[in-house]
Amino acid sequence: MRKFVALSLCLAVTASLAGCSPSSSSDSTGATGASGNADNTSAVDGGNTSGEIPTVNLTMWGAEEDQAVLQTMIDSFIENYKDVADITVQLGVESESTAKDTILTDIEAAADVFAFASDQLPDLVKAGALQSIDELDAAIQAYAGKSVADIESANVSSSVEAATYNDTLYAFPMSADNGFFLYYNSDVLSEEDVASWDNLLAAADAAGLKVGMTLASGWYNAGFFYGAGFTTGLNDDGTTSIDFNGEADYTGVEVVQAMLNISGNSAFLAVADGDMSNQFASGTLCAGISGTWDAEAAQQAFGEGYAATKLPTYTVAGDQVQQGSVAGFKLVGVNAYSENAGWAALLADWITNEENQALRFEQRQIGPSNINAAASDAVAANVAIAALAEQSAYGVVQLVGNNYWDPTATFGEIIAQGQLAVDDTAAIQEALDTMVTGVTAPVE
Amino acid sequence: MMKKKTIQTILHNLLLAVLALIWLVPIVWLLVTSFSAYTGVNATSFFPDEWSLNNYKNLLFSADTVAQFPNWFKNTFLIACASCIVSSAFVLMVAYAMSCMRFKMRKPIMNVAIILNLFPGFLSMIAVYFILKSFNLTNNHWGLVLVYSASSGLGYLIAKGFLDTVPVSLREAAYIDGASEARVFWKVVMPMSRPIIVYTVISSFLAPWMDFVFAKMILNSGISSMWTVAIGLYNMLDRSLINTYFSQFCAGGVLVSIPISILFVIMQKFYVEGITGGAVKG
Amino acid sequence: MKGGKVAAGIKSFFGSVGGVFKNFGTAVAKGDLFVKLSMLVMGAGYIRRKQIIKGILVTLLEAGVIAFTVLFAPQYVSKFGTLGTVVRESVFNMTTMKNEYNDYDNSFLILLMSLVSFVVWAAFLAFYIFNMISVYNLQKAAKEGKHINSFREDIQELLNKKFHITLLFLPVMGILLFTVVPLLVMILVAFTNYDQNHMPPGSLFTWTGLTNFINLFGGGGLTVTFGYAFVRVLAWTLVWAFFSTLTTYIGGILLSLLINNRKTKLPKMWRTLFIITIAVPQFVSLLLVKHFFADNGIFNSFCEAIGLTEALYNAGIISNMSIPFLTSPGWVHVMIILINIWVGVPYQMLIATGVLMNIPGEQLESARIDGATPRQIFRHITMPYMLFVTGPALVTDFVKNINNFNVIYLLTSTYVTTNQALANSQAKETDLLVTWLFTLTQDYYNYKMASAIGIVVFVICAVFTLVAFNRMIRGDREEMFR
């Protein structure tokens, strides 16, 4: 009768469901997985002398543009450890800026080792995606011949700060290039011109060109507040603390007035987030605030006049204040759910060690976070990285929660569109208060 | 009298020409940008300053990690074919059952289907992902086929609306001749439903070329050779890549559109045949 | 009248459910030994009536479900009440170079797999009851000496009288697994605290009852502005759905009439030209259009070149020297609807052409003979026919537009609002509910709130659609044009 078809298919479905239950449960219970592999890993404990070496399969994610250089590093990693383990590494593509989204969808399916931008660290730690590196100290000492403390001291302290959460190191610093500074055309602007916003805008106006900056992003516009002594922070419950509506060296209102004076200048161009390279290419700019990723675009636009320096000073309540910035880093983390956490950590360490940071600079012009690698002449000669290093004295490690971004972007956009009047302090204060309310809203 | 008619005809066709022009402007921009030597977004002139075939050459013959176009194309094509077959079959099966047959649960099932259609699919994306994972179908093209086609039966309404217009008398004649329901489905109703079959086939074939959200979630191993065209092209517009890959993105868009256009053109022939065959008028 | 109809529908539904249970009771009470045995071994009754293959298949299915129940379901269903209690703890083992961890619970998998189990069991229960009834019917048939179908005849029947079961089975299975179960999961998530601070597998989430709904309606939810953002987003969603559906629908019919007009030269060529725009994937064409209309995009360069920008600037309509097509509220809303016309009209034209070609010829012919003008024919024959055939599609289009992700997301994902109240709730003026939900889940992992909002939206849409739909496809109209 009618049930025949229904029945056979039902059967197929239930059978396949039942059939795959053991595999899915063993995926999630590490205990079985670990004991199952005990036989081939026991060799390690006998040290390198034992004849049998473990087979280790690792996966790694890195940025699209870095694939070639990463493959070189992986090959040397495998070569370096070939006496103690038979390692294969599969390299995949995952942009550092979106790594968090992909990883948090399914941590268990994420790569063993992945590169990510330092602002994602708090979320990744809270979700339990990152392996504590401190816990692996012994393994790194045994195989890489250095301690976690060595790693921390080899990299610039702000990069270690960005990789640390609750006093635990959660990732290896890979590069110190995720910050912003000023590109300018030295044919048009002199060194005095780029020292302050006032001179900069006047000179640009005289040349009939513009100065571009992204205001509609809490990453860029916070620089004005950081410069005036304001702070942001991350609380234990995941909420963000922010004091932009209060008083530091100056009042928040005064900072906003300074920003409005800049954005209201006809030589200022508010650029949409991520659109700076297009603006460089369009030829309307003589200077623009961006990071190393736009070095090529700036170089092409300015040609011989290509130059970069720290951010200019701006005028707050009659004083010249150095504009601050965000010190961002690229980090390499180890998946807490990795089947081979120890080997994964060794790979992460390998691709972030001094030689490989130097190699990364050589091939991709990415600024090293390693102190020795950064000290080389070649790095110092790189215009963009030198400017970034110069700005780093005023850089702040920005640890904020998720609720930070939308309200601050909107606030920046309001300033960019000139929707606030410079002398309307009440409205400015209200806008600041609203922004702070949004940023500090509980994470639920 | 004659003259007035001629003027009307000219105006009529002119109107169509203007409309077509509006509709084609972005397509033409896509086409010319794909031949641009400048790799970023050209904001100053419609036509590129310098012409070049490099975008196509890079895309097709020197696959780097960013642009593995031949692989993506193959993947998407296979996924599209598989899910197109399954979903077209599902849609037509459901439409026939709902339109031409009468059974007890018909109305309740139809109401439930409408309600299910209302739910925003993105909300349940994560649940779909874990269902596929429990079948070990993530990072697998069959998993994507399932995502695109398994629930396609819900989209039966348009096909049903069409089948409702097929005269009952034709089917009744077939029943009297002793044909079974299955035979009527195959031999009587389906041959008369070419336009809606074409519509169904085309729309289900298109889905995998368009979707970048589900595909990115399910093919999450980071192995770019496994991607579909949509993920790959979408990825080219990543902030760090757009200035090097925008014109290649356009070239990719053109290459994707070609097979789909061919499909449309071929199908249009059947489409018109199905209509002018006059079967329905009887 | 509608209410009465629905009530009657509900009544008849429960009536038939009651009937099923009554029949089941009768079967259990009056069945012979083998029918009673079927309660344990489901195929017994069929085997007794010489339907051996069927009997074996049914029994195998039963065995499969039992295996599922014993081997698979308990590990999840037993924890359904708490959604898990064991948090993951891991310790690094230097010897193996691996992490060793406890047998931790994953709340989401518990929820999902429990629901799969419930669905399997519910389906099996229904099957079980119908099986008993059918076995008893067999007994009665045998007693009365009626013909009992052979296996071959059963299959024949599935291709004829019961063809709808054959047709519907696979599609329904697909829908169950890939739409119904995920939907139920997400509905249940609205009653939990699944958010960024409670994300499996790292941590557990658990039931919180109606808290999320109370937060949504009583203020104090995510932020104080949440209710405000919800109303704003909902309003724009409805406005958008209405206009986008209406404009593309009418545009599609007009275009198809235009092309199919006798005055048109080369109708096929025109149709092909419009169809080409469908052939370009939406994400390509929409992203392209977005760059086309960007503040520093090519269209703005064009407007500046012809002096339009300056005219608007001098007229005080715009405040910058670029036209904010996609960056300023008002402008962006109009642009989105216009661009959607561009996207949607060729599709609608395709459908309309197909339907128009199917207008019964004799109706048009007799109208023409009666001396009706083309306009009259359009109003009294073409349009009613169109509405009848595409009416249901119109309703689904409306719903599709409520959930239209692509157009909005691709055009406005980089749009920054200047409305602080919206920004504080992660929304913006152009957001539809679905794109807002997407942001909430993808960027903020706020699954519980997204689910709660999703349910509210869902209820609104469901009420609207059921009312509209039942008007459109009332049974009496279904046969009208045959």
- pLDDT tens track for C465-478: 777 766 665 544 44
The reported pLDDT for the residue numbered A130 is 95
Taking the Cβ of residue C113 and every Cβ of chain B, the question of whether any pair is shorter than 8 Å is answered with: yes
Tell me the residues of chain C between 239 and 258 that have a Cβ less than 8 Å away from chain A. none
DSSP SS3 for A332: strand
Among B24, B125, B253, whose Cβ lies nearest the Cβ of C281? B253
Statement: residue C464 has pLDDT above 50:
yes
Interface contacts A/C by beta carbons within 8 Å: 225
B180–C175 C-beta distance less than 8 A: no
Question: Is A269 a member of any domain?
Answer: yes
The reported pLDDT for the residue numbered A35 is 37
Please say which residue of A314, A339, A368 terminates a domain: A368
- Other beta carbons less than 10 A from residue B101's beta carbon: 18
Q: What is the mean pLDDT of chain C?
A: 85
Same domain for A358 and A430, yes or no, is: no
What would the two tokens of residue A357 be?
A: 């940071």
Spatial contact of B206 and B260, defined as CB atoms under 8 Å apart: yes
C106 CB contacts (<8 Å, ≥6 apart)? A28, C84, C200, C201
The reported pLDDT for the residue numbered B94 is 93
Residue located via tokens 């502005």: C225
Among B40, B220, B241, whose Cβ lies nearest the Cβ of A106? B220
Spatial contact of C74 and A18, defined as CB atoms under 8 Å apart: no
Nearest Cα to Cα of residue B130 among C106, A383, C368, A203: C106
Architecture of domain B63-281: Orthogonal Bundle (1.10)
Same domain for A362 and A282, yes or no, is: no
B221–A67 C-beta distance less than 8 A: no
3-state helix, strand, coil in chain C (%, to 5): 70, 0, 30
Q: For the CA atoms of C418, C421, C424, C425, what is the dihedral angle to 10 degrees?
A: -110
Statement: residue A18 has pLDDT above 50:
no
Alpha-carbon gap, residue C168 to C189, rounded angstroms? 30
Question: Is A14 a member of any domain?
Answer: no
Taking the Cβ of residue B240 and every Cβ of chain A, the question of whether any pair is shorter than 8 Å is answered with: yes
Dump pLDDT digits (tens) for A227-237: 999 999 988 88
B66–A64 C-beta distance less than 8 A: yes
Dump pLDDT digits (tens) for A354-369: 999 999 999 988 899 9
Alpha-carbon gap, residue B123 to C447, rounded angstroms? 8
Q: How far is B96 from chain A (nearest CA, A)?
A: 18
* AA letter at A218: G
C92–A342 C-beta distance less than 8 A: yes
Same domain for A307 and A341, yes or no, is: no
The reported pLDDT for the residue numbered B275 is 38
What would the two tokens of residue C247 be?
A: 């404009």
Same domain for A314 and A339, yes or no, is: no
Taking the Cβ of residue B270 and every Cβ of chain C, the question of whether any pair is shorter than 8 Å is answered with: no
Bigger pLDDT: C213 or A87? A87
Return phi, psi of residue B105, to 5°. -85, 10
Residues of chain A found within 8 Å of residue B223, distances taken between Cβ atoms: 90, 92-93
Same domain for A316 and A388, yes or no, is: yes
Nearest Cα to Cα of residue C225 among C73, C416, C427: C427
Same domain for A128 and A249, yes or no, is: no
The reported pLDDT for the residue numbered C35 is 86
Distances (CA, A) of B39 to A64, B34, B50, C286, C329: 17, 9, 11, 19, 31
Q: For the CA atoms of B103, B104, B107, B110, what is the dihedral angle to 10 degrees?
A: -70
Tell me the residues of chain A between 326 and 345 that have a Cβ less than 8 Å away from chain B. none
Please, which pLDDT band fits residue A47 given cuts at 50, 70 and 90? Answer: very low
pLDDT (average), residues B27-50: 86
Q: How far is A324 from chain C (nearest CA, A)?
A: 23
Alpha-carbon gap, residue B238 to B46, rounded angstroms? 23
Q: How far is C18 from chain A (nearest CA, A)?
A: 22
Please, which pLDDT band fits residue B103 given cuts at 50, 70 and 90? Answer: confident
Among C13, C287, C469, whose Cβ lies nearest the Cβ of B114? C469
Tell me the residues of chain B between 15 and 54 that have a Cβ less than 8 Å away from chain C. 15-16, 19-20, 22-24, 26-27, 29-30, 41-46
Dump pLDDT digits (tens) for C446-462: 888 888 888 887 887 77
Q: What is the CATH number of domain C222-478?
A: 1.10.3720.10
Q: How far is B48 from chain A (nearest CA, A)?
A: 14
C420–A414 C-beta distance less than 8 A: yes
Q: How far is B201 from chain C (nearest CA, A)?
A: 13
A164 - beta bridge partners? Answer: A169
Chains with 3+ CB–CB pairs under 8 A to A are B, C
Same domain for A334 and A235, yes or no, is: no
Give me the number of domains chain A comprises.
2
- Domain range for A355 is 53-169+330-368
Statement: residue C146 has pLDDT above 90:
no
DSSP assigned state of B13: H
* Cis peptide, bond prior to residue C201, ω within 30 of zero: yes
Stretch among A123-127, A290-294, B120-124 having the lowest mean pLDDT: B120-124
B17 CB contacts (<8 Å, ≥6 apart)? none
Please, which pLDDT band fits residue A11 given cuts at 50, 70 and 90? Answer: very low
The domain spans of chain C are 23-209, 222-478
What would the two tokens of residue C208 be?
A: 């919180």
Stretch among A315-324, B20-29, C154-163 having the lowest mean pLDDT: C154-163
Q: What is the mean pLDDT of chain B?
A: 84
Bigger pLDDT: C224 or A3? C224
Same domain for A210 and A252, yes or no, is: yes
The reported pLDDT for the residue numbered A51 is 59
The reported pLDDT for the residue numbered C469 is 67
Residue A278: which H helix or E strand, with range?
A: helix A276-282
Same domain for A265 and A388, yes or no, is: yes
C194 CB contacts (<8 Å, ≥6 apart)? C107, C108, C205, C447, C448, C451
Same domain for A189 and A162, yes or no, is: no
Distances (CA, A) of C101 to A170, A339, C136: 18, 11, 54
Q: How far is A349 from chain C (nearest CA, A)?
A: 15
Burial of C63 from C-beta contacts in 10 A (0-12 / 13-18 / 19+): middle
Tell me the residues of chain A between 123 and 182 that have a Cβ less than 8 Å away from chain C. 123, 126-129, 131, 135-136, 138-139, 142
Q: How far is A142 from chain B (nearest CA, A)?
A: 31
The reported pLDDT for the residue numbered B129 is 92
Mutate to test the interface with B, among A20, A89, A93, A100 (most CBs of B within 10 A): A93
Question: Is A1 a member of any domain?
Answer: no
Spatial contact of B149 and B137, defined as CB atoms under 8 Å apart: no
Same domain for A66 and A155, yes or no, is: yes
DSSP assigned state of A304: G
Please, which pLDDT band fits residue C149 given cuts at 50, 70 and 90? Answer: confident
Taking the Cβ of residue B49 and every Cβ of chain A, the question of whether any pair is shorter than 8 Å is answered with: no
**Percent share of chain A, pLDDT over 90:** 68
Dump pLDDT digits (tens) for C377-424: 888 888 887 777 777 678 778 888 888 888 999 999 889 898 888 888
Same domain for A419 and A303, yes or no, is: yes
B151–C298 C-beta distance less than 8 A: no
Mutate to test the interface with B, among C283, C348, C463 (most CBs of B within 10 A): C283
Question: Is A444 a member of any domain?
Answer: no
Length of chain C: 482
Alpha-carbon gap, residue C241 to A218, rounded angstroms? 33
